[in-house]
Amino acid sequence: MKKILRYTFFAMALAAMTSCSDQFLQDKKDYNGFNEEIYDNIALATGKVDFVYGLCLPTTASGVGHSNPCTGRADAFSQSTEEYAGSTAFTQLAEILSSNVPDYFYNKNTDGPWSRIRECNIFLDNIDKGALGEADRNKLKGQIYFWRAWIYTRLVMMYGGVPIVTTAQNAILGDGSSKDELEVQRSSTADCIDFICGDLDKAIALLPGRWDNNNWGRITSGAAAALKGRLLLAYASPLFNRNDDQTRWQAAYDANKAAYDLLTQNGFGLADGKGNRAENWEKMFSQIQSCEAVMVTLFNTLTNDYKKNNSWEQMARPKELLGGGGMAATAEMVDLFPMADGKKPGESTFDYDELKFYKNRDPRFYRTFAFNGVVWPYKMDNGYTLWNYQWYKDEDSFESGKPGNSAQYSGDVNSGIFVRKRTNPEAQWIMRINSI
């Protein structure tokens, strides 16, 4: 009986194999960007756009290893200014050549700016072929135009002119494409600026000035206008404008004024200046739907799905709070911060003493930095006071500058001044008991 069943099953399988055609190959769907059904369904098309958000949004933990280097951590870009301490290729005396400049955008086939640009181009190539209504298509296209402009902005700010690719290329030679089509020549910086502004103008025209609460965090027309203003301001600066072309400054002014007006019309603006202004300013960085939040990155705590975690709080806090040890503020940034009257040290009516840097400063100073004796609250200890110090085993260690085995009790900030900005007074931390 077992043999009969076995033979019967084999015969049925053989019949099925011989009777079917290769139709299953034709029915097989490509579920990346080319599946045309994506563009017939608003949920699927929105999911595709959201996927691009996940690829392109800057995060506090992304650093330079992604297509969006940001100043959310002590990376090479922020260390090249006064934001964080540290030496980088940009601050050293050695000349940076094309042969040794680091590839900060990780030129990979699957994880780099060009793969993100390709995702944008796939969407733009296909969205108008679907069955979605014009209003839905416009909102989706507006967001993708912004992200393509965002990626190109990052590239141009780093490298100047780059190749402009406006459609998804077929990388298989002989399959409808040629080598000449794939080898796109580098465009001039001016052409790239024009191209980016063109994408941003489309985004401004297609996007709403404000989304409903369920879609809060999506790119608005004001965010697109703000990016255009920032780009043109950089293009007018000495970084690109060696001959001080005044028309560039005018274009930058016009773009930023238009962005300001558009954002103001839609309820965006400075944080509430009433009451404790410094406290309101501090809350701006952790308050959901802040009026100053023109462009935001939303995070989650998912464990079995796509997780986008904000590690800033952990990095910024001292070790005794189970933090990462903190990030050091530079003396340049501390010295440059305004005094209580809003003027720079040396130009202010208040005297500035480098050894008493904390006296008579702009109220935001005390929410930007933390140093010995400062109350730096968190949810379980509203009166937590920061103490950061070094100790030396003996006089020889002190003379040599080599601290003891536990050099910084509270953190790893050698300067003694922590970056406090963007930390949340309502953050929850578990205290660690230290024995000293």
Q: Report the C-alpha gap between 413 and 326 in whole angstroms.
A: 6
**Structural domains in the chain plus CATH codes:** 36-69+104-283 (1.25.40.390), 311-436 (no CATH)
pLDDT of residue 413: 65
Q: Report the C-alpha gap between 413 and 85 in whole angstroms.
A: 10
Per-residue pLDDT for 75 more than 60?
yes
Nearest 5°: CA angle at 195, between 190 and 196?
Answer: 100
Q: What percentage of the chain reaches a pLDDT higher than 90?
A: 44
* Higher per-residue confidence, 402 vs 417: 417
Sign of dihedral through CA atoms 36, 42, 44, 47? positive
Segment 115-153, tens digit of pLDDT: 899 999 999 999 999 999 999 999 999 999 999 999 999
| 229: amino acid identity, one letter | G
Crossing angle of helices 134-159 and 221-236, in 10° steps, is: 20
HEC string of the chain equals: CHHHHHHHHHHHHHHHHHHCCCHHHHHCCCCCCCCHHHHHCHHHHHHHHHHHHHHHCCCCCCCCCCCCCCCCCCCCCHHHCCCCCCCCCCCCCCCCCCCCCCCCCCCCCCCCHHHHHHHHHHHHHHHHHCCCCHHHHHHHHHHHHHHHHHHHHHHHHHHCCCECCCCCCCCCCCCCCCHHHHCCCECCHHHHHHHHHHHHHHHHHHCCCCCCHHHCCCCCHHHHHHHHHHHHHHHHCCCCCCCCCHHHHHHHHHHHHHHHHHHHHCCCCCCCCCCCHHHHHHHCCCCCCCCCCCCCCCCCCCCCCCCCCCCHHHHHCCHHHCCCCCCECCHHHHHHCCECCCCCCCCCCCCCCHHHCCCCECCCHHHHEECCCCECCECCECCCECCCCCCCCCHHHHHHCCCCCCCCCCCCCCCCCEECCCCCCCCCCCCCCCCC
> In this structure, are residues 199 and 188 in contact, taking their beta carbons and an 8 Å threshold?
no
Q: Report the C-alpha gap between 32 and 119 in whole angstroms.
A: 9
369 φ/ψ angles, rounded to the nearest 5 degrees: -125, 155
pLDDT of residue 70: 47
Nearest 5°: CA angle at 85, between 82 and 88?
Answer: 90
Q: Report the C-alpha gap between 324 and 337 in whole angstroms.
A: 25
Q: Report the C-alpha gap between 60 and 46 in whole angstroms.
A: 25
| Cα-based distances in Å from 244 to 123, 134, 186, 192, 229 | 39, 43, 24, 19, 18
> In this structure, are residues 240 and 263 in contact, taking their beta carbons and an 8 Å threshold?
no
Segment 218-272, tens digit of pLDDT: 999 999 999 999 999 999 999 999 999 999 999 999 999 999 999 999 999 887 6
Residue 63: pLDDT band with limits 50, 70, 90: very low
Average pLDDT over residues 289-308: 80
Per-residue pLDDT for 2 more than 60?
no
pLDDT of residue 284: 84
| Cα-based distances in Å from 67 to 6, 165, 186 | 56, 16, 19
Structure tokens at 355: 């050894």
pLDDT of residue 257: 98
The answer to whether the predicted template modeling score (pTM) of the entire model surpasses 0.85 is: no
Nearest 5°: CA angle at 190, between 184 and 196?
Answer: 75
Structure tokens at 148: 């393509």
Average pLDDT over residues 91-110: 66
Segment 161-197, tens digit of pLDDT: 999 999 988 777 656 666 677 788 999 999 999 999 9
- Polymer length in residues for the chain: 436
Segment 369-404, tens digit of pLDDT: 999 899 999 988 999 998 877 666 677 777 776 655
Structure tokens at 212: 């409903």
Q: Report the C-alpha gap between 364 and 333 in whole angstroms.
A: 13
Average pLDDT over residues 85-104: 70
Nearest 5°: CA angle at 375, between 370 and 377?
Answer: 100
| Cα-based distances in Å from 105 to 101, 109, 144, 307 | 11, 12, 20, 22
